[in-house]
Amino acid sequence: DQQVKQNSPSLSVQEGRISILNCDYTNSMFDYFLWYKKYPAEGPTFLISISSIKDKNEDGRFTVFLNKSAKHLSLHIVPSQPGDSAVYFCAASVPGAGSYQLTFGKGTKLSVIP
Amino acid sequence: GAGVSQSPSNKVTEKGKDVELRCDPISGHTALYWYRQRLGQGLEFLIYFQGNSAPDKSGLPSDRFSAERTGESVSTLTIQRTQQEDSAVYLCASSRRRRGTGTNTGELFFGEGSRLTVL
């Protein structure tokens, strides 16, 4: 039972345009959401996060939007650059337990075409 | 070192053998996690260590899997009697502090992973 779903395994975008990566979740207890980026042969690296008390968080070219009623979040990258080509993982955690035990989606491979 | 270090980077083993994977977290990071990523899948939580507290083993898939960590240092993940379905990239991550104890983005710092192939 996948609690975090990234339904698009891949996405291709032209350089300079907007990339929109989507993520849906089923567990209403999730209260913290993160995006990680992963290059081949490297570990995932943290990109941006959002708490459930917010609906938007922005960091430079990256913005994450959270729609709690729809249990949906999205990552917008604008403008997209070739160096953004990577696999993007959506992750979520529940309160309690004192840890950031994250539940990850399967990832979306973004290709930014020069 | 500056980042999370894992060894070996690649391990090929025969079915039924035991393997041990090692993780050196970032110095000062009290929390340590093991995840695995099987082909075409997302990252799957295995186990979490926080300081000297009892580890959260809820993600371990079977009793063939075990992990140890001494204090806030090195951790080893052991897989006994490996099976082909154990083939995956095993990722270790560490973080600075527990959730809820001050500002923390929830950022986990991952190592490059240990790719295990069971023939």
Q: How many Cβ atoms sit within 10 Å of the Cβ of residue A67?
A: 11
* Ramachandran category for residue B16: left, alpha or beta (phi over 0 → left; psi -120 to 50 → alpha): left
Average pLDDT, chain A: 92
Query: For the segment A17-71, what is each residue's pLDDT rounded down to a tens digit?
Result: 999 999 999 999 998 899 999 998 899 999 999 989 999 999 999 999 999 999 9
Cβ of A49 and B105 within 8 Å? yes
pLDDT at position A77 over 60? yes
Chain B partners within 8 Å of A45 (Cβ):
110
pLDDT band at A4 (very low <50, low <70, confident <90, very high): very high
Environment class of A62 (CB within 10 Å of its CB; exposed 0-12, middle 13-18, buried 19+) = middle
| pLDDT the model gives residue B103 | 45
**More confident of the two residues A100 and B62:** B62
| pLDDT the model gives residue B100 | 56
CA distance A30 to A92: 6
| pLDDT the model gives residue A27 | 93
B8: distance to nearest CA of chain A, Å?
A: 13
Q: Which of B44, B106, B110 sits opposite A93 (nearest CB)?
A: B106
| pLDDT the model gives residue B40 | 83
Query: For the segment A90-104, what is each residue's pLDDT rounded down to a tens digit?
Result: 999 887 655 567 889
Query: For the segment B7-61, what is each residue's pLDDT rounded down to a tens digit?
Result: 999 999 999 999 999 999 998 888 899 999 998 888 999 998 887 888 889 899 9
Task: Outline where DSSP puts E strands in chain B.
Answer: 5-7, 10-13, 19-24, 31-37, 43-50, 65-69, 75-79, 88-95, 109-110, 114-118
| pLDDT the model gives residue B97 | 63
| pLDDT the model gives residue B99 | 54
Q: Which of A46, A97, A103 sits opposite B107 (nearest CB)?
A: A46
Residues A68-107, buried b or exposed e (16+ Cβ, 10 A)? eeebebbbbbeebeeebbbbbbbbbbbeeebbbbbbbbbb
Q: Which of B4, B42, B48 sits opposite A101 (nearest CB)?
A: B48
